[in-house]
């Protein structure tokens, strides 16, 4: 099983300097950074440290994943944010869990005592509500469907190609695994506060997008 650590960035120089040295290169077969137009030295830092950098052309995290795929040679992709929210030391556990034959493994912020230290009241409620909706509507058993830190088989992204305007891959992939009876699991993992930079997630806008993904999937509009 070959693994690719896929790291989306947008002005994360402070987090990159603090987090990337903690990632041991033997944890993954390759590391690919996909950058959404950083102006703070993120790209230069990544290249200076020997990482392959893909410069994203279209906006959005889903497009970042799509544009990185020609450079991804792993069977399994691990998406990891270098802003401090993802704990590097969980990567080996994530890989070991995938070796059990899962199609998707999520590093849950709410499983077995794990906690998000970056949540506020709005994001905590939104995460709970959307995860509960997905579980009820699609017969799943997730505790965290929105977190980006996860491992997934490369083929999962091809399901998103049928919807070019898909705004978020995370809830979509969780739903698809439930609908198609693919094997999905979780491991617990805290979410520390971000290091520098600015949070890209906009609660109301992103929440509306997640709700539309759920509704479209339930109505069979996501093929």
- Quote the pLDDT of residue 143: 98
146 CA to centre of own chain: 8
Q: Are 175 and 214 in contact (CB under 8 A)?
A: yes
d(CA 156, CA 104): 9
Q: Are 4 and 65 in contact (CB under 8 A)?
A: no
- Quote the pLDDT of residue 222: 59
- Quote the pLDDT of residue 185: 98
Reading the chain (223 residues) residue by residue, the pLDDT tens digits are 999 999 999 999 999 999 999 999 899 999 999 999 999 999 999 999 999 999 999 999 999 999 999 999 999 999 999 999 999 999 999 999 999 999 999 999 999 999 999 999 999 999 999 999 999 999 999 999 999 999 999 999 999 887 888 999 999 999 999 999 999 999 999 999 999 777 777 777 888 999 999 999 999 875 5
- Quote the pLDDT of residue 164: 81
- Quote the pLDDT of residue 163: 82
- Quote the pLDDT of residue 169: 95
Query: Of the CATH numbers 3.10.520.10, 3.40.50.300, 3.90.550.10, 3.30.750.24, which one belongs to the domain with range 3-218?
Result: 3.90.550.10
* Angle at the Cα of 137 from the Cα atoms of 125 and 182, rounded to 5 degrees: 105
d(CA 172, CA 177): 9
d(CA 38, CA 196): 14
From residue 93, give the alpha-carbon distance in Å to each of 106, 115, 151: 11, 17, 11
Query: Can you give the pTM of this predicted structure?
Result: 0.94
Token pair 């479209």 in the structure block, residue: 216
- Quote the pLDDT of residue 205: 83
């Amino acid at each position: 099983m070959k693994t690719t650590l896929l790291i989306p960035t947008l002005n994360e120089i402070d987090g990159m300097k603090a987090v990337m040295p903690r990632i041991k290169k033997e944890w993954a077969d390759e590391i690919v950074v996909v950058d959404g137009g950083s102006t703070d030295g993120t790209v230069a830092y990544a290249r200076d440290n020997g990482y392959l950098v893909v410069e994203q052309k279209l906006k959005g995290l889903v497009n970042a994943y799509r544009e990185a795929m020609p450079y991804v040679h792993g069977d399994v992709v691990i998406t990891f944010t270098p802003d401090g929210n993802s704990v590097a030391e969980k990567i080996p556990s994530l890989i070991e869990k995938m070796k059990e034959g899962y199609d998707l493994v999520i590093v849950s912020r709410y499983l077995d005592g794990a906690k998000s230290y970056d949540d506020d009241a709005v994001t905590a409620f939104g995460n709970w509500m959307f995860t509960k909706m997905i579980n009820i509507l699609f017969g799943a058993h997730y505790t965290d469907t929105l977190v980006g830190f996860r491992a997934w088989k490369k083929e999962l992204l091809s399901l998103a190609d049928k919807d070019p305007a898909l705004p978020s891959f995370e809830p979509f992939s969780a739903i698809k695994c439930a609908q198609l009876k693919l094997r999905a699991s979780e491991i617990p993992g805290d979410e520390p506060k971000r290091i520098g930079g600015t949070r890209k997630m906009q609660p109301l806008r992103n929440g509306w997008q997640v709700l539309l993904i759920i509704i479209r999937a339930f109505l069979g509009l996501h093929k």
